[in-house]
Amino acid sequence: MTLDWLLDPWSAGFMRRALVEAVLAGALCGALGCFVLVRGLAFFGESISHTIVLGVALAFLAGLPVSLGAAALAAVTVLAVQAIGAGGRLSRDTAIGILLPSLFGAGVALIALSEGYRSRLEDVLFGSILGVTDADLILAAAVAAAVAGALLLAGKELALVAFDRSTARAMGYSVRLLDLLLLGLVALAAVVALRAVGNLLLTALLVGPPVTARMLCRRFWPMVALAAALGAGAGIAGLYATWYFDVGAGPAIALAVGCVAVAASLVAQGRRWERRRAATAGAGPQ
Partner 1 sequence: MKRAAAGSPPAIVALDLSVAYEGRPALTGVTFSVPAGTLAGVLGPNGAGKTTLLRALLGVVSHTGSVEVNGSTSYVPQLSAVDRTFPVDALGVVLMGRYPRLGWLRAPRANDRRVAAELLDQMGLSDRARSPFASLSGGQRQRVLVARALAQEGEVMLLDEPLTGIDVASQEVVLQVLADHCADGHTVCMTTHDLAQAARVCDRLLILDGRLVAEGPTREVFRPEIIRAAYRAELLSLDGETALVHHGVHPAP
What residue ranges bind partner 1 (CB under 8 A)? 38, 152-154, 156-157, 159-160, 162-167, 169-172, 214, 217-220, 223
Closest CB 160 distance from partner 1, rounded Å = 5
Pick 95 or 168: Cβ nearer partner 1 = 168
Distance CA 202, CA 82 (A): 21
Pick between residue 161 and residue 232 the one whose CB is nearest to partner 1: 161
Closest contact distance (angstroms) between CB of 93 and partner 1 is 17
Smallest distance, Å, CB 267 to partner 1? 17
**Least Å from the CB of residue 81 to partner 1:** 20
Comparing CB distances to partner 1, the nearer of 93 and 122 is: 93
Smallest gap from Cβ 51 to partner 1, in A, equals 27
d(CA 20, CA 17): 5
